């Protein structure tokens, strides 16, 4: 049966986040809670996926296949969307078979899994990579890793409208900037498109500078036919992608307790911590009103919970967790 597009108009609340270091600096922060979009399909990944699903429906595909690691938020959102809206999903996974909370969810959500090994996964950029998978799974539409590309960015444009619509409920007539964690920069590029220069967008980099986010955003904006402007990037990765240190772990647990908003250490806590550092350094003026996009990813935190707790007891360790 060909895939049909869900008749679904998700919403995410815009909520004030009160934290002592914000109050002390006279900075107001509101969070667009994409983690609350849906119990199954959470975070920014749905918005990057939706335009690809439209393409799959137009192409008459019966299912969708994509790539990711054993903790992938992207594969999780894809599997969840497949379950929720009734289409088949195939996940091509990095490395050797692993048993993680994410992998167990993917299986429970009905995703078929193929483990590519590390070498096999590295071949994903080769031009004929999808040709062989399409030969094996002719009914499945391929979606790039993470739901990237201009369609993925276009799917995130609407989020700016969601912020604007909800400002009156906060008693705000405007805001000074939009903050978002950046991995590939696809979501960031979508926000820049949605803002159209009205407010600056700050991308808190969850990956090192040499991962090419700047080039990627520039290319997406060029493809969309708009100027490479309206945003800036800040290093928020604290030594590497998915690298977790004791200070970050302590900050995350404290912010959760104080602000009542769940975070995860790979993207959202690092973005919030980078904001804290900017506030502390006096680079955010008193009276500023900022909006932070909560990009979800909480499912990936389960595998890290013990490490977060351990790190807050022993302060001299840092660990790497591959996403
Ligand atoms: C994937 C992801 C991001 C990064 O999104 P990009 O569009 O790749 O920059 C940010 N936060 C979370 C929780 C994610 O899962």
**Residue with token string 């799959």:** 56
The candidate with the shortest Cα–Cα distance to 259, out of 86, 22, 65, is 22
Examine the fold and report which residue of 122, 148, 174 is the final residue of a domain before the chain moves on: 148
Same domain, yes or no, for 273 and 168?
yes
What is the pTM for the complete model shown? Answer: 0.95
Same domain, yes or no, for 62 and 156?
no
Written as six digits, the tokens of 31 are 């969070």
- How many structural domains is the chain composed of? 2
The residue annotated as part of the active site, out of 72, 132, 232, 288, is 72
Going by alpha carbons, the residue nearest to atom 13 of ligand 1 is 297
The residue to mutate among 48, 143, 267, 298, having the most atoms of ligand 1 within 8 angstroms of its beta carbon, is 267
pLDDT of residue 320: 64
With a Cβ cut-off of 6 Å, ligand 1 is lined by 43-45, 73, 146, 181-188, 267-268, 295-297
CA distance 133 to 65: 9
**Residue with token string 């969307």:** 81
Whether 286 and 170 have beta carbons less than 8 Å apart is answered as: no
Whether 203 and 180 have beta carbons less than 8 Å apart is answered as: yes
Same domain, yes or no, for 25 and 50?
no
Instruction: Give the residue numbers spanning the domain of 266.
Output: 14-42+151-320
Whether 17 and 292 have beta carbons less than 8 Å apart is answered as: yes
Same domain, yes or no, for 33 and 78?
no
**Residue with token string 């799974």:** 137
Ligand 1 centroid distance, CA of 267 (Å): 7
Task: Tell me whether residue 42 is one of the annotated catalytic residues.
Answer: no
209 Cβ contact partners less than 8 Å away, ≥ 6 residues apart? 233, 235
Averaged in consecutive runs of 10 residues, what is the pLDDT profile of the chain (323 residues)? Answer: 82 97 98 94 94 94 97 97 94 97 98 98 93 96 93 97 98 98 98 98 97 97 98 98 96 97 98 98 98 97 92 67 53
Q: Residues, the chain, total?
A: 323
Same domain, yes or no, for 160 and 286?
yes
Say if 222 falls within a structural domain: yes
CA distance 34 to 147: 16
pLDDT of residue 323: 46
Say if 284 falls within a structural domain: yes
pLDDT of residue 298: 96
Ligand 1 centroid distance, CA of 178 (Å): 15
| φ and ψ at residue 178, rounded to 5 degrees | -120, 130
Atom of ligand 1 nearest to the CA of 185: 9
List, for residues 114-173, the tens digit of each pLDDT value. 999 999 999 998 989 999 999 999 999 999 998 999 999 999 999 999 999 999 999 999
CA distance 227 to 230: 8
The candidate with the shortest Cα–Cα distance to 42, out of 302, 256, 295, 272, is 295
Say if 241 falls within a structural domain: yes
Atom of ligand 1 nearest to the CA of 267: 11
Residue 310: CATH number of its domain:
3.40.50.1100
CA distance 296 to 36: 8
Ligand 1 centroid distance, CA of 189 (Å): 12
308 Cβ contact partners less than 8 Å away, ≥ 6 residues apart? 244, 249, 252, 253, 265, 301
Say if 248 falls within a structural domain: yes
CA geometry: angle 159, 142, 180, nearest 5 deg: 25
The residue to mutate among 44, 150, 156, having the most atoms of ligand 1 within 8 angstroms of its beta carbon, is 44
Distances (CA, A) of 51 to 108, 188, 288: 25, 16, 34
CA distance 205 to 184: 9
Same domain, yes or no, for 240 and 195?
yes
pLDDT of residue 4: 85
Say if 4 falls within a structural domain: no
Same domain, yes or no, for 167 and 267?
yes
């Amino acid at each position: 049966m060909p895939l049909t597009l869900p008749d679904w108009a998700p919403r995410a609340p815009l909520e004030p986040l009160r934290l002592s270091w914000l109050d002390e600096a006279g900075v107001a922060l509101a969070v667009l809670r994409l983690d609350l979009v849906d119990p199954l399909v959470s975070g920014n990944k749905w918005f990057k996926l939706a335009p690809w699903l439209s393409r799959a429906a137009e192409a008459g595909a019966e299912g969708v296949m994509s790539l990711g690691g054993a903790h992938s938020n992207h594969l999780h959102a894809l599997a969840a969307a497949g379950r929720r809206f009734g289409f088949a999903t195939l996940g091509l996974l990095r490395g050797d078979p692993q048993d993680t909370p994410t992998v167990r969810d993917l299986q429970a959500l009905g995703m078929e899994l193929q483990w590519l090994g590390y070498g096999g996964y590295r071949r994903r950029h080769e031009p004929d990579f999808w040709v062989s998978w399409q030969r094996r799974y002719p009914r499945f539409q391929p979606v790039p890793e993470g739901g990237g590309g201009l369609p993925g960015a276009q799917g995130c444009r609407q989020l700016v409208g969601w912020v604007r619509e909800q400002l009156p409920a906060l008693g705000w007539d405007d805001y000074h900037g939009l903050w978002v964690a950046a991995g590939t920069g696809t979501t960031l590029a979508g926000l820049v498109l949605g803002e159209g220069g009205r407010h600056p967008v700050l991308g808190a980099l969850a990956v090192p500078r040499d991962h090419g986010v700047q080039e990627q955003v520039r290319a997406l904006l060029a493809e969309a036919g708009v100027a490479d402007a309206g945003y800036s990037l800040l290093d928020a990765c604290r030594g590497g992608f998915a690298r977790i240190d004791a200070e970050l772990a302590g900050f995350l647990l404290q912010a959760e307790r104080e602000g009542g908003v769940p975070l995860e250490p790979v993207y959202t806590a690092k973005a919030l911590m980078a904001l804290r550092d900017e506030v502390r350094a006096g680079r955010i003026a008193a009276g500023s009103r900022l909006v932070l996009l909560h990009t979800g990813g909480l499912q990936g935190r389960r595998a890290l919970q013990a490490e977060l707790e351990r790190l807050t007891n022993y302060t001299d360790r840092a660990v790497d967790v591959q996403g």
